Amino acid sequence: MKTLALEIPDSLLLQLAILIEELSREAQVELAFHYFRTGRLSSGQSASMAGMNRVDFLSVAGLRKIPLLDLDPEELKSEIAAAASS
Protein backbone atom coordinates (compact mmCIF):
# COMPACT_ATOMS: atom_id res chain seq x y z
CA MET A 1 0.00 0.00 0.00
CA LYS A 2 1.23 3.49 -0.85
CA THR A 3 0.88 6.71 1.14
CA LEU A 4 0.05 10.05 -0.45
CA ALA A 5 1.41 13.17 1.26
CA LEU A 6 -0.30 16.55 1.02
CA GLU A 7 0.98 19.84 2.32
CA ILE A 8 -1.75 21.69 4.21
CA PRO A 9 -0.94 25.01 5.88
CA ASP A 10 -1.56 25.00 9.64
CA SER A 11 -3.73 28.09 9.21
CA LEU A 12 -6.18 26.12 7.07
CA LEU A 13 -6.38 23.33 9.62
CA LEU A 14 -7.15 25.92 12.27
CA GLN A 15 -9.76 27.59 10.06
CA LEU A 16 -11.41 24.24 9.37
CA ALA A 17 -11.12 23.30 13.05
CA ILE A 18 -10.17 19.78 11.99
CA LEU A 19 -7.49 17.34 13.03
CA ILE A 20 -5.06 16.25 10.32
CA GLU A 21 -6.23 12.64 10.74
CA GLU A 22 -9.84 13.64 10.07
CA LEU A 23 -8.85 15.71 7.04
CA SER A 24 -6.80 12.79 5.73
CA ARG A 25 -9.78 10.44 6.10
CA GLU A 26 -12.16 12.90 4.40
CA ALA A 27 -9.71 13.42 1.52
CA GLN A 28 -9.35 9.66 1.02
CA VAL A 29 -13.13 9.18 0.87
CA GLU A 30 -13.64 12.16 -1.46
CA LEU A 31 -10.93 10.88 -3.80
CA ALA A 32 -12.59 7.45 -3.89
CA PHE A 33 -15.94 9.02 -4.82
CA HIS A 34 -14.24 11.18 -7.47
CA TYR A 35 -12.69 8.16 -9.19
CA PHE A 36 -15.98 6.24 -8.99
CA ARG A 37 -17.97 9.18 -10.39
CA THR A 38 -15.52 9.60 -13.29
CA GLY A 39 -15.58 5.87 -14.04
CA ARG A 40 -11.89 5.34 -13.39
CA LEU A 41 -12.57 2.87 -10.56
CA SER A 42 -15.36 0.38 -10.01
CA SER A 43 -17.60 0.62 -6.97
CA GLY A 44 -15.66 -2.20 -5.32
CA GLN A 45 -12.30 -0.57 -5.99
CA SER A 46 -13.59 2.80 -4.81
CA ALA A 47 -15.09 1.25 -1.69
CA SER A 48 -11.72 -0.31 -0.89
CA MET A 49 -9.99 3.03 -1.40
CA ALA A 50 -12.54 4.69 0.92
CA GLY A 51 -12.06 2.01 3.57
CA MET A 52 -15.70 0.88 3.28
CA ASN A 53 -17.46 -2.25 2.19
CA ARG A 54 -19.16 -2.05 -1.21
CA VAL A 55 -22.72 -1.94 0.17
CA ASP A 56 -21.93 0.99 2.47
CA PHE A 57 -20.07 2.78 -0.33
CA LEU A 58 -23.04 2.45 -2.70
CA SER A 59 -25.42 3.56 0.04
CA VAL A 60 -23.37 6.71 0.67
CA ALA A 61 -23.07 7.29 -3.09
CA GLY A 62 -26.87 7.22 -3.29
CA LEU A 63 -27.17 9.71 -0.44
CA ARG A 64 -24.72 11.95 -2.30
CA LYS A 65 -26.82 11.65 -5.47
CA ILE A 66 -23.90 10.03 -7.33
CA PRO A 67 -25.26 7.92 -10.21
CA LEU A 68 -24.57 4.23 -9.71
CA LEU A 69 -24.79 3.54 -13.45
CA ASP A 70 -23.52 5.66 -16.30
CA LEU A 71 -25.51 4.57 -19.33
CA ASP A 72 -25.79 6.48 -22.58
CA PRO A 73 -29.34 6.88 -23.99
CA GLU A 74 -29.05 3.82 -26.26
CA GLU A 75 -27.78 1.60 -23.44
CA LEU A 76 -30.57 2.85 -21.19
CA LYS A 77 -33.19 2.11 -23.87
CA SER A 78 -31.76 -1.39 -24.30
CA GLU A 79 -31.80 -2.05 -20.53
CA ILE A 80 -35.39 -0.84 -20.22
CA ALA A 81 -36.48 -3.03 -23.14
CA ALA A 82 -34.71 -6.05 -21.64
CA ALA A 83 -36.34 -5.45 -18.25
CA ALA A 84 -39.78 -5.02 -19.83
CA SER A 85 -39.49 -8.30 -21.73
CA SER A 86 -38.56 -10.38 -18.72
Q: Is 62 helix (H, G, I), strand (E, B) or coil?
A: helix
DSSP code string of 36-61: HHTTSS-HHHHHHHHTS-HHHHHHHH
pLDDT at 10: 92
Report if pTM > 0.85: no
Taking only the tens place, the pLDDT of each residue in 35-83 is 999 999 999 999 999 999 999 999 999 999 998 877 677 877 887 888 8
Instruction: Give the mean model confidence (pLDDT) for residues 16-25.
Output: 93
In this predicted structure, what is the pLDDT of residue 71? 65
Other CB atoms closer than 10 Å to residue 73's CB: what's the count? 7
